[in-house]
Chains A and B, each alone.
Chain A
Amino acid sequence: EVQLVESGGGLVQPGGSLRLSCAASGFTFSSYWMSWVRQAPGKGLEWVANIKQDGSEKYYVDSVKGRFTISRDNAKNSLYLQMNSLRAEDTAVYYCARDSDFWSGNQRVHWFDPWGQGTLVTVSS
């Protein structure tokens, strides 16, 4: 059974940092892209970042570029999200998701399945 378990969430002050982790099991972690997706309280889903199988490509939503860093350790079957310079608007449940892809025309397209249970990040003074 595929399992994704996030950890590392909590309360942090504006401007602070936090590192999220996602432990993967039940599939060949090194064969998949991985993504982080977040959901602010009572709001919709927002894709945050993804990373290629070997870590050689990383993409981010504009609102977190320069502040968040996605990384992975294939030996530990783990995905990470380093979040710096946190803002109130970063408050959300952060989900780790297995990211599948294929080429459609001249671009790679991705989707997310399955998802972890999420970890809550609250940015507040």
Chain B
Amino acid sequence: SYELTQPPSVSVSPGQTASITCSGDKLGDKYAWWYQQKPGQSPVLIIYQDNKRPSGIPERISGSNSGNTATLTISGTQAMDEADYYCQAWDSSTGVFGTGTKVTVL
């Protein structure tokens, strides 16, 4: 079965850039989505089709996807960005989520 691997945690200082990777076999040939989940809340879509932002998502959040890796980048990180982040792809009629990354803003 298809697997997506993310680093368990990423730490970033306020105002700096956080990059979260999502690795999967030939992921660049598929599309990647990204979700943000804050403690006690439901996941929220923040990037769709590799690099598009839904309305209401700030421009400092961006995505890319190439080769075997999709990347979520948060520029000018703020305290409100502290959350868990999950990538997602679709393979053989099955939804696949990444292992999840906890972003800590120090």
Contacts and interface: CB of A to CB of B under 8 A. Distances in A.
A117 B42 contact: yes
B53 interface: no
Contacts, number: 67
A111 interface: yes
Main secondary structure on A side of the interface with B: strand
Contacts of A61: 94-95
Contacts of B35: 45, 112
Size range of the interface on A? 20 to 34
Interface in B67-106: 86, 88-90, 92-100
Contacts of A116: 42
Contact of B43 (A45, A104, A109, A110): A45
A107 B93 contact: yes
Interface string B25-60: 000001101010100001111001000001000000
Interface of A: 35, 37, 44-47, 50, 59, 61-62, 95, 104, 107-118
